[in-house]
Structure 1
Amino acid sequence: MNEDPPTRTTFDFEAYGRRVREGPCFVCAFVAGRPDYQHHSVYEDEHTIAFLTRYPTLLGYCLVAPKAHIESWVHEMAELEFLRFQSVVHKVARALAATVPTERMYSMSLGSRQGNAHLHWHLAPLPPGVPYHQQQFHSLMAENGVLVVDDVAQAALAQRIRDQH
């Protein structure tokens, strides 16, 4: 796939902050099928859902979350449950890396009890050729802009990722 990378746009932190602090849990709302919280799913099983983020800083940026509302993997998941969850994170990362050019797969758990409290893992594929000063945290920070992606392109990307499972 030799497409030009999407352009970036400024991220509206104020609107985002209101949505995550005043709205429902975004993962629970997505799992419940609320139309205003829909995402493009890339993986789903009995316990876990993975989907493309609405505000990607890298093409293919996914979130992987347990379907149950869990806020702490340290305190609320038994070791075997956590290992099962991480095996899905690994599976989704491999499918993602097989779909988009990836020099390094970033993986982390973000969120807080103040906003986006539902446990979710971020998978962000760094494409080859990104200058070093624009890698790592720089490439993940919405302060540096988010990619302009349309719904049709995101749906097609999600399908290509699903096809890798």
Structure 2
Amino acid sequence: MTSFIIKAHEKRARNTEWASNDDCVFCRILNNEKSSSVVYEDEQVIAFLDILPLRRGHTLVIPKVHIPRLSDLPPEYASALGMAVSKVAKALTQALDNTGLNVVCNQDYAQAVPHVHYHIIPAPLLNTWNITDPDPNAERKQQESKEPGSDTKKMHQMEFEARMGEMDVEDAEELAKLIRAKL
């Protein structure tokens, strides 16, 4: 029914806003101006380890064009992202022997880099007593974020503070190799 509408857009010219953006850290990675630990890549998508991971294996999957909002993503890139997220998620669960994942894509709200990207974040591992959490103050910080006067900057700061710290290059490459072996 809607295939004629989709066909009409297949060969359309790329929007000028979709061009590479010099201020975008992801575009700089795509242009090889910044290094990354790539775990997956095809013609339309690239996936790499987050440099400030929430947990070991935190991976980002992005389109190879600069599109700030998911709602502006053309169907061919949405499809490629969906397939890549699924492939990387499977490899990540096998590499880490942990089937628990969070898959998140923000638009404007909580989107620190204005370039469409999916986060694939391994869930904390359960042990016999509790859930392993890198931040013992996470519950207090979450409550504070709900207090009146909270703003986006504060939320980003709290999210940043909860991260594990910058990933070591050698550890990142070892982990990326392990994940690539599962693709």
Give the TM-score of the pair, scaled to structure 2: 0.66
Match of 1:141, SS?
Answer: helix
Q: CA deviation at 1:70?
A: 1.2
Q: CA deviation at 1:103?
A: 4.4
4+ runs deviating over 4 angstroms: 132-135
Amino acid paired to 2:58? Y
Give CA deviations for 1:57-89 in whole Å, capped at 9, x if unaligned: 2001000000111112222322x5313321111
More relative contact order in 1 or in 2 (CA 8 Å, sep 6+)? 1
Percent identity, aligned pairs only, is 27
- RMSD of the TM alignment (CA)? 2.7
Q: CA deviation at 1:24?
A: 1.8
Match of 2:40, SS?
Answer: strand
Unaligned runs of 5+ in 2: 1-21, 140-157
Unaligned runs of 5+ in 1: 1-22
| Residue aligning to 2:176 | 158
1:40–1:133 distance in 2 versus 1, CA, 3 Å: closer
1:38–1:111 distance in 2 versus 1, CA, 3 Å: farther
Count of residue pairs the alignment pairs up = 138
Aligned mate of 1:142, from 149, 160, 163: 160
Aligned mate of 1:70, from 67, 70, 83: 67
Partners in 2 of 1:52 and 1:111 — Cα distance?
20
1:133–1:100 distance in 2 versus 1, CA, 3 Å: closer
Partners in 2 of 1:87 and 1:60 — Cα distance?
18
Q: CA deviation at 1:105?
A: 0.7
The answer to which structure has the higher strand fraction is 1
After TM superposition, list the pairs within 5 Å mapping 1:2-151 onto structure 2: 24-34=23-33, 37-78=34-75, 80-110=76-106, 112=108, 115-129=112-126, 131-132=130-131, 134=133, 141-147=159-165, 149-151=167-169
- For the 8 Å contact 2:69–2:107, the answer to whether it is kept is no
1:127–1:71 distance in 2 versus 1, CA, 3 Å: same
Give the TM-score of the pair, scaled to structure 1: 0.72
Q: CA deviation at 1:52?
A: 0.3
Match of 2:65, SS?
Answer: coil
Partners in 2 of 1:145 and 1:115 — Cα distance?
14
Q: CA deviation at 1:101?
A: 3.1
Amino acid paired to 2:28? A
Partners in 2 of 1:161 and 1:133 — Cα distance?
22
Partners in 2 of 1:54 and 1:133 — Cα distance?
21
